[in-house]
Structure 1
Amino acid sequence: MTAQHVLELAVCTVTDKEAALVARRRAMLAVSRYRGFISWRAVTACETMDMLADLVEWETLDAAQAAGERVLTDPEFAPYMATISSVKLMQHFLTEQQI
């Protein structure tokens, strides 16, 4: 049986949406090289103009947590972090069902 992957959901508000979108692309490229990375789906809220969400898939919870520590000091991630005014949700999840 294959190990279950971990989904990381981060929802935040940003100070400058256009700058955040550019910085997020740079952050995505950096994180795509991290150990255990599988995918990153970047979305923007329809009704709240300054809200973004990121759904990142990791091989394991350990890989997700290690990445969480690494982004704090990764210069490629810093510009994205600088645009974030508040984090509404940052949580790891396991898939219960999928159709």
Structure 2
Amino acid sequence: MSHASPVLELAIFQVKEDHLAQVPALRAGLRETLKAFPGLIDYRGYCPINDDRIFVDLALWSCFENAQAVAQAFNDGDPRFADYMAAIESLSFMSHFSPEPC
């Protein structure tokens, strides 16, 4: 199924306590890795306001196929994601969304 409109990718995850201080550097590396894949429009990482370890990543992709290709590379253990993956204790939610039709 092809989506002509941009696709939002949302991931909610908990970071390992001993990796908290590394999150800014890890996200900078992730941003560069994502740029190497076709179709990235925007990437933003969100940090917890409270003292918990739940973080959110939002990526906007040009189409579902591009978003899915990156998600598959991540799930398959692509070494470009290894440092970021090592910091994640658990993934609570990850999915793709298309804009609501007007």
Q: Distance in 2 between matches of 1:97 and 1:55?
A: 20
In the superposition, the TM-score normalised over structure 2's length comes to 0.83
Structure 2 residue 82 is the aligned partner of structure 1 residue 78: yes
Q: After TM superposition, which residue ranges in structure 1, 4 or more long, deviate above 4 angstroms?
A: none
**Could you list the runs of 5+ residues in structure 1 that have no partner in the other structure?**
none
Alignment RMSD, CA only? 1.7
Distance 1:48 1:88, change over 3 A: farther
Residue 98 of structure 2: aligned partner: 94
Aligned length: 95
Identity of aligned residues (%): 29
In the superposition, the TM-score normalised over structure 1's length comes to 0.85
**Could you list the runs of 5+ residues in structure 2 that have no partner in the other structure?**
none
Q: 2:67 aligned to 64, 73, 77, which one?
A: 64
